Amino acid sequence: MTQLFDKILIANRGEIACRIARSCRALGIKTVAIYSEADANSLHVELCDEAVAVGGSASSESYLRIDRILDAIKQTGAQAVHPGFGFLSENSEFASALEDAGVTFIGPGQHAIAVMGDKIESKKLAQSAGVSTVPGHPDALDSAEQARSLAQTIGCPVMLKASAGGGGKGMRIAWTLDDVIEGFNSAQNEARNAFGDDRVFIEKYIEQPRHIEIQVLADKHGNTLYLQERECSIQRRHQKVIEEAPSPFLDETTRRSMGEQAVALARAVDYHSAGTVEFIVDVNKDFYFLEMNTRLQVEHPVTEMITGLDLVEQMIRVAAGETLAMRQEDIALNGWSFECRVYAEDPDRNFMPSTGRLSHYLPPDASDTVRVDTGVRAGSEISMFYDPMIAKLVTWGETRADAIVAMRDALDNYVIRGVQHNIPFLTALLDHDDFKSGELHTGFIDTHYPDGFSSGAVPGNPTLSLAAACCCQLIEDDLNTQFNNRMVPVPLPSTRDYAVRQDDETTALRVTRDGDRLTVAIGDEVISGEWGWQPGSSRLQLTTDDACTTLQVWREGRRWQITCAGRVDNWAIYPGHIAALLPHMPTLIEPDMSDYLLSPMPGLLVRVEVDAGDQVKAGQVLAVVEAMKMENVLVAERDGTVKEVAAKAGDSLDVDQVILQFDEADA
Ligand code: ADP
Ligand code: ADP
Ligand code: MG
């Protein structure tokens, strides 16, 4: 056994920094966190043995500052650096600066990083290594006209891609020859702005494809293995949303030939450490190389779940010079695993990032079948400075169907309040018949949600949700009755009548109690079971004769807010005798504030970026509000015209105070 490192610096933040820290701890290695101003109180700082502040909240002032990270290494005596993903993980300059400082980079060699970081170079290298690549033109394009004439040869649809691209940026599909010029120009502009490198190339656009990637692992002694595949076809804007391992599409032969080609490519760049070779796979199971990511991938946990390996541990062992302890035939493919990326974003507002404080945060319990990789806890801030990922939720099952059930249950149990999040969307995807039957392709989301996602359209189970609200009310009423008469035990009535009022209609609910069992009758429907809930708790566990279901409960005044199968409903439950009087009560009409921009929190108005009369586009910045030392950028939710600006920079705002008003006509 080689001596592993005494101390590793983790050049990252959030969930991946926490995840790396855990593997280091298991190996008995001390850890050093680096952190920005915004992250001073974050979980990754707490989990590491030491922590060094490296600068301002913007990544460019902290996590991307090679000089400051080198200082932190000097200061703490760390012998190696794990870069995680994002930030400096694929920066060969960083790898070389570490080498000069005599510090080990836990990742591949600089040559592999440099070649694979360039899509044109890596595609050429893949071709020469005998790896199947997407048909197209090998070199950077000189002009839009050249793109058009090549598109004619290749045949539309084609894809225009930035050579320096990543994270789904700098990519355009041209369905017809007429789209090619525009596609080339916009891919080139985006590439110039995002990567400072405007080289664009062209290849065939593979229709209805699947994204299937191979995890490779290599040591410094010439041993290179593939750790099976991951399917990442559920994407939005070319970014992965749900991943799984193995792929429901691959047979043993295709798996082996993709694995062997991935290994051949890794060998061609003398690869060591963990890396991922991404392929696009067409409906005939023909596969084509897309790119190689020379780092740990966001979705690596699904591979860990089916192989039983810890990829971070393997990377550390390889970096320390160990020989891989296993051979290709030892690599397991045990059961099935899914990963959902839980994001702070609003699925109802075109997935706009949502920032703020996690006022309530209760992840599902970790177990052999559920893993939650996160960098946050209750009270953490989701800031605008970094990726808005809250957590990666990972499940395992013997079969694909079991792993889906485990994921659905874990999503039902995930309580997040304070920011908008995509759990309703993830739940809807998991419940989709095509998803369940494994009929995936990269256009899945666009095909099935052509007009975007609306959480109001999630079917949920309204009867169950209403029954839950009613039982919560009853449990609370019964407890109150008992507590108010503590001296004498009070016999609880075995039957109670309640009513719910909705859209001017009153529906009667009758609850019958038999020990712990409550039976709710709503019209002709009857739901009977044990309702595990205590006043104040945010989860309710319903056990019926054939299932156990988790619902979420939140109380606001008279209203019970119940989350059931990804759907949120509000129910006002009244005792039966009061319900009879409800039709005589005036209805409270909520004012329509949709033409107003309101301050989402108490804070200081830093600036207003628009004037009365301005036309604004959805997503455009309207104003910035500072609260708790954090700047919150308020953006337009839709196109419109500003009618009046009601507040000015320097004003101190209450929550829901009007900042500006839009023209009604635009509503
Ligand atoms: P791909 O590059 O194929 O899309 P991933 O889905 O693993 O691979 O990652 C998407 C991109 O966004 C990568 O460049 C990754 O490094 C970056 N990224 C993803 N999540 C985070 C995060 N939480 N923090 C920093 N960077 C991230
Ligand atoms: P990035 O570096 O941004 O991850 P990739 O080359 O890995 O770029 O592509 C990201 C996604 O874009 C793929 O997962 C796939 O959905 C889509 N894509 C890329 N190239 C093609 C292609 N030639 N045909 C069809 N889809 C493609
Ligand atoms: Mg990619």
Of 204, 221, 249, at which residue does a domain stop? 204
| Cα 282 to ligand 2 centre (Å) | 13
**Which strand (E) or helix (H) includes residue 114?**
helix 110-116
Both 366 and 277 in one domain: the answer is yes
Closest-approaching ligand to the CA atom of 235:
2
Beta strands in 199-286 (DSSP E): 200-204, 210-218, 224-236, 239-245, 273-281
Q: Which residues surround ligand 3, an ion (CB under 5 A)?
A: 278
Domain-embedded: residue 129: no
**Token pair of 547, please?**
């299932």
By annotation, the residues acting in catalysis are 291
CA angle 241, 416, 336 (to 5 degrees): 40
* H/E element, 401: helix 400-413
C-beta 291 within 6 A of ligand 2: yes
In-domain check, residue 590: no
Pocket of ligand 1 (CB under 6 A): 14, 85-86, 166-167, 240, 278, 293, 297-298, 387, 389
- CATH number for the domain harbouring residue 423: 3.30.470.20
- Three-state DSSP at 301 gives helix
Pairing of strands 104-105, 80-82: parallel
208: how many CB neighbours lie within 10 A of its CB? 13
**Any atom of ligand 2 within 6 Å of the Cβ of 164:** no
> Is residue 658 helix, strand or coil?
strand
Q: Does the beta carbon of 445 sit less than 6 angstroms from any atom of ligand 2?
A: no
Atom of ligand 2 nearest to the CA of 119: 6
Is residue 220 in some structural domain?
yes
Ligand 3 centre and the CA of 117: distance in Å? 11
List the domain range (segments joined by +) for residue 90: 7-106
Q: Which of 204, 238, 264 delimits the end of a domain?
A: 204
Using CA atoms, how far apart are residues 460 and 492, in angstroms rounded to an integer?
32
First to last CA, the chain: 68
Q: Cα–Cα distance between 432 and 514 in angstroms, integer?
A: 37
Q: Residue 117 domain-assigned?
A: no
Q: Tell me which of 457, 490, 525 is where a domain ends.
A: 457
The CATH number covering residue 527 comes to 3.30.700.30
- Sign of the Cα torsion 314, 32, 105, 393 reads positive
Residue 375 forms part of a structural domain: yes
For ligand 2, the distance from its centroid to the CA atom of residue 70, given in whole angstroms, is: 34
Residue 427 and residue 322 in one domain: yes
The residue ranges of the chain whose pLDDT is under 50 are 666-667
Q: Does 521 reside within a domain?
A: yes
Are 191 and 298 within one domain? no
Does 298 sit in the ligand 2 pocket, CB within 6 Å? no
- Residue 213, judged by CB atoms within 10 A of its CB (0-12, 13-18, 19+), counts as buried
Claim to verify: residue 287 and residue 347 sit in the same structural domain: yes
- Centre of ligand 2 to C-alpha 291, Å, is 8
What CATH number has the domain bearing residue 191?
Answer: 3.30.1490.20
Backbone angles phi, psi at 21, to 5 degrees: -60, -40
In a domain, 368, yes or no: yes
Q: Is residue 113 part of a domain?
A: no
CB-based burial, 293-321: b 16+ in 10 Å, e otherwise:
bbbbbbbbbbbbbbbebbbbbbbbbbbbe
202 CB within 6 A, ligand 2: no
User: Quick one: 292 and 366 in the same domain?
Assistant: yes
> Rounded to whole angstroms, how far apart are CA atoms 354 and 400?
32
**Angle at alpha carbon of residue 341, lines to 335 and 344, rounded to 5°:** 160
Question: Within this chain, do residues 392 and 295 fall inside the same structural domain, yes or no?
Answer: yes
Question: Apex CA 379: angle with CA 373 and CA 383, to 5°?
Answer: 75
> Do 270 and 312 lie in a common domain?
yes
Tens digit of pLDDT for each residue in 243-297? 999 999 999 999 999 999 999 999 999 999 999 999 999 999 999 999 999 999 9
Pure H helices in 272-319: 300-307, 311-319
Give 600-658 pLDDT, tens digit per residue. 877 889 999 999 999 999 889 999 988 766 678 899 988 999 999 999 999 988 888 99
Whether 473 and 554 map to the same domain: the answer is yes
- Tell me which residue has its CA closest to atom 26 in ligand 1: 86
**Residue 381 near residue 369 (C-beta atoms within 8 A):** no
Residue 242, burial from CB neighbour count under 10 angstroms (0-12, 13-18, 19+): buried
Q: Rounded to an integer, what distance in angstroms lies between the CA atom of residue 23 and that of residue 10?
A: 12
> Using a 6 Å cutoff on CB, does residue 297 contact ligand 2?
no
Q: CB of 106 within 8 A of CB of 83?
A: yes
What does pTM read for this prediction? 0.88
Same domain membership, residue 64 and residue 190: no
Helix residue ranges per DSSP H, 247-337 = 252-268, 300-307, 311-319
Q: How far is the CA of 290 from the centre of ligand 2 (A)?
A: 6
Residue 667 has what pLDDT? 41
- Residue 504: partners with Cβ closer than 8 Å, 6 or more residues away: 583, 587
Q: Specify whether 230 is located in the same domain as 376.
A: yes
Q: Six-digit token pair at 361?
A: 């945060």
CATH number at residue 632: 2.40.50.100
Q: Please give the angle made by the CA atoms of 56, 58 and 61, to the nearest 5 degrees.
A: 55
- Tell me: do 540 and 562 sit in the same domain: yes
Q: Structurally, how many domains does the chain consist of? A: 5
DSSP 123-160: HHHHHHTT--B-SB-SS--S-HHHHHHHHHHH-SSEEE
Q: Is 558 found in the same domain as 428? A: no
pLDDT of residue 579: 80
